Amino acid sequence: MDTQLSRDLKRLFETRLNSAMKMYLETCTRCGNCLDSCHVGASIPEIKYTAVGRAEVIRKVFRRYFKMQGSFAPWLGEVLEFDDGTLERIYEAAYSCTGCRRCMVHCPFGIDTQQLMSIAKALLIGADKEPKLLSMLSDMSIAKGEGIEETKASYAEAITNLEADVLALWPTAAEAEGAFSRPMPLEAKGADLLYVGLAGAHSIVPAAAIMNAAKERWSLSFFEAVNFGAFVGDSRKMKAIAQRIIDEAIGLGVKEVAIVECGTAFRVMRHFMGKQPFKVIAFVELIDRYLSQGRITLDKSKITEKVTYHDPCQIARNGGVIEEPRRVLRALTEYFVELRPTKEENWCCGGGGGLVAMGEMEFRMKSSKVKAEQMRASKAAIITTACENCHSQLSDLNEHYALGMKVEFLSHLVAKALVRPGQSYRL
Amino acid sequence: MAEYTTLKTLDYKGLKCPMPIVKISQELPKIAVGEVVEVLTTDPGSLSDFPAWAKTTGNAILETKQESGLIKIYVKRQK
């Protein structure tokens, strides 16, 4: 590695050294509490797949360049210099971590491995060694924002072509006349809420039916909620991607932005984008509100099998949305059972941090053995979740480990159970 | 009407996020520069995603067609 790149990486590292990060780098007492916390380490028992093992790679670089001993007498302690081998170790640490932060729950000092891995990801970008697919997807999202006016008409046509699918789930739009008389309103001035979906009609149609049933004055975003800038650890791109949605929401003057079932998209918008003139909510929170306000009713006779729920890490442990999906599930079925462990302690699905998009099938399946075992132990026929990434990973686990479960989005179960006017149902 | 011959059809109907773009990114290097593929998708977002992807990667979208929920996108490898 040339000296200039090494200097650049050191400078890049230095820009990340705020007080919290220094505490994470200097405080670990090797207590071992995190050794069993990571689903990867629990599935593949190697120290490099534990939280402390990953953090240690970054700590060794920290010691080499920012501690007296490492700078003047590196031979005295465990340090890592920037070279190709170190970058390979940094890559393995960063992209074997899904950013679920389960280890942080168990760490007595609250050391945030995801934050430490944000240094790793920044260094990989600085060395031009990050996963190019994630950078390309980020760039695509930004380019989409720049050229959105050119494609709005064709998108609107595609949305019109999906109206019959929405009406099959709920027979009317939110209102009979005006801006909210279409099943999926676009650029609807006066909307209270902007709904942001993902690539795929499945992320829009059931949600539209639910919002129409609740008579929500809503508008559909032209953008996808997912944020690949966050996955690849590029904060500039992350903000540019989120800003497209912020500008759209401000332009419409909405009071709320509801994020599709996507954990990372929700966490970025709610926690990383600062104060905005609107509130950010996860779609499952919106469903819970509709139920509590009596704006929708669900027919419990639709589900006759045991259902369990996978808490998406970025929505539950890292987003605080834990009881809302449970209230929705109790309104939906009498057959809800918890996964064990559950809530803040739930095992990550193993697909986060960009791994699903990157493929990585062999690693994702091996590293999530404990998740598959947890799913099987629930004895549930259906596993539901509120995150696209988790849904993809749970579906892959279901097939790979022959679990024989049905993997469902929570919003899809809700949309199928909506009680229509005049319909008989069971509460 | 644009004139071109499609080498093959890629069926991306019903794929979840972000697979349509991931798959076209993996597929395009397998064909020669100048060749065209037809992508079938049901994702309304692909009508904005594919042009943005083409701009980002230096490829071209020759045409898009919509037929009652089915979207056809004609992608030309340019580099």
Q: What is the pLDDT of residues B22-38, one digit of tens each?
A: 999 999 999 999 999 99
Q: Is any Cβ of chain A less than 8 angstroms from the Cβ of B16?
A: yes
Report the residue count for chain A. Answer: 427
For A411-426, what is the mean pLDDT? 92
Give CA separation, A379 vs A62, A406, A425, in Å. 46, 12, 27
- How many whole angstroms separate alpha carbon A331 and alpha carbon A420? 16
Provide CATH code, domain A3-130: 1.10.1060
Of A202, A257, A235, nearest to A125 by C-alpha is A235
ipTM of the shown complex: 0.95
For A193-200, what is the mean pLDDT? 96
What is the distance in angstroms between the Cα of B19 and the nearest Cα belonging to chain A?
A: 7
According to CATH, where is 3.40.50 located in chain A? 134-292, 300-416
Q: Render pLDDT for A2-40 as a digit per residue (tens, 0 to 9).
A: 899 999 999 999 999 999 999 999 999 999 999 999 999
Query: Which domains does chain B carry?
Result: 6-76 (3.30.110.40)
What's at A382, amino acid-wise?
I
Alpha helices in A214-341 (DSSP H): 228-232, 235-252, 263-267, 283-292, 323-332
> Which residue has better confidence, A115 or A69?
A115
What is the distance in angstroms between the Cα of B57 and the nearest Cα belonging to chain A?
A: 8
- How many whole angstroms separate alpha carbon A12 and alpha carbon A16? 7
B26 given a catalytic annotation = no
For A337-358, what is the mean pLDDT? 97
The token pair at A412 is 């899809």
Q: Render pLDDT for A241-258 as a digit per residue (tens, 0 to 9).
A: 999 999 999 999 999 999
Residue A208 confidence class, pLDDT cut points 50, 70, 90: very high
- How many whole angstroms separate alpha carbon A57 and alpha carbon A45? 17
Q: Render pLDDT for A268-293 as a digit per residue (tens, 0 to 9).
A: 999 999 999 999 999 999 999 999 99
Number of other residues whose CB lies within 10 A of the CB of residue A283? 28
Of A222, A413, A397, A387, nearest to A301 by C-alpha is A413
> HSE of A201 in the Cβ direction (CA atoms, 13 Å)?
23
The fold of A134-292 is: Rossmann fold (3.40.50)
Chain B residues with beta carbon closer than 8 angstroms to that of A140:
21, 49, 52-53, 56
Q: Provide the edge-to-edge strand list for the sheet that holds B60-67.
A: B6-11, B36-41, B70-76, B60-67
Q: What percent of chain A has a predicted confidence (pLDDT) above 70?
A: 100
Residues A199, B25: C-beta atoms closer than 8 Å: no
The residues, ordered by sequence, that sit 6+ positions from A283 with a Cβ below 8 Å of its Cβ are A195, A207, A258, A259, A260, A261, A386, A411
Q: Is the pLDDT confidence value at A75 over 90?
A: no
Number of other residues whose CB lies within 10 A of the CB of residue A23? 14
Chain B residues with beta carbon closer than 8 angstroms to that of A161:
44, 66, 68-69
Per the CB < 8 A criterion, the answer to whether A107 and A100 are in contact is no
A176-192 burial, b for 16+ CB within 10 Å, e for fewer? eeebbebbbbeebeebb
Residue B2 is predicted with a pLDDT of 66
What's the mean per-residue pLDDT of chain A?
A: 96
Residue A396 is predicted with a pLDDT of 98
CATH 3.10.310 describes domain A300-416: no
Q: Is the pLDDT confidence value at B1 over 70?
A: no
Give the H/E segment covering residue A298.
none
Of A95, A76, A97, nearest to A34 by C-alpha is A97
Chain A: which residues have CB within 8 Å of chain B?
A: 133, 136-137, 139-141, 143-144, 146-148, 150-151, 154-155, 157-159, 161-162, 165, 197-204, 222, 224, 226, 228, 262, 357, 359, 388, 391-392
Query: How far does chain B reach from its first CA to its final CA, in angstroms?
Result: 24
For A99-108, what is the mean pLDDT? 97
Q: Render pLDDT for B14-71 as a digit per residue (tens, 0 to 9).
A: 998 899 999 999 999 999 999 999 999 999 999 999 999 999 999 999 999 999 889 9
Residues A147, B51: C-beta atoms closer than 8 Å: yes
- In a 10 Å sphere around its CB, with 0-12 CB exposed, 13-18 middle and 19+ buried, how is residue A84 labelled? exposed
The residues, ordered by sequence, that sit 6+ positions from B50 with a Cβ below 8 Å of its Cβ are B20, B21, B24, B39, B61, B64, B73, B75
For A56-76, what is the mean pLDDT? 89
3-state secondary structure of A259: strand
Report chain B's C-alpha Rg in angstroms: 11
Compare CB distances from A140 to B43, B56, B69 and report the shortest one's residue. B56
Task: Give the Cα-Cα-Cα angle A251, A253, A259 (nearest 5 degrees).
Answer: 90
**Which residue in the block uniquely carries the two structure tokens 């090494």?**
A6
Of B71, B59, B77, B67, nearest to B13 by C-alpha is B71
Q: Is the pLDDT confidence value at A261 over 90?
A: yes
Please provide the DSSP assignment of A79-115 as one string. Answer: ---SSHHHHHHHHHHHTT-----HHHHH-TT---HHH
Compare CB distances from A357 to B18, B52, B66 and report the shortest one's residue. B18
Residue A282: strand pairing partners: A259
Going by the DSSP 8-state scheme, the letter that residue A190 receives in this structure is T
Chain A residues with beta carbon closer than 8 angstroms to that of B49:
140, 144, 199, 224
Residues B44, A162: C-beta atoms closer than 8 Å: yes
The residues, ordered by sequence, that sit 6+ positions from A367 with a Cβ below 8 Å of its Cβ are A39, A40, A43, A44, A49, A96, A350
Give CA separation, A94 vs A5, A250, A400, B21, in Å. 20, 35, 25, 23
Q: Is the pLDDT confidence value at A59 over 70?
A: yes
**Which residue in the block uniquely carries the two structure tokens 């932060």?**
A101
Residues A147, B57: C-beta atoms closer than 8 Å: no
According to CATH, where is 1.10.1060 located in chain A? 3-130
Q: Is the pLDDT confidence value at A395 over 80?
A: yes
Going by the DSSP 8-state scheme, the letter that residue A4 receives in this structure is H
Which stretch of A76-85, A286-295, A353-362 has the lowest confidence by average pLDDT?
Answer: A76-85
- How many whole angstroms separate alpha carbon A70 and alpha carbon B68? 65
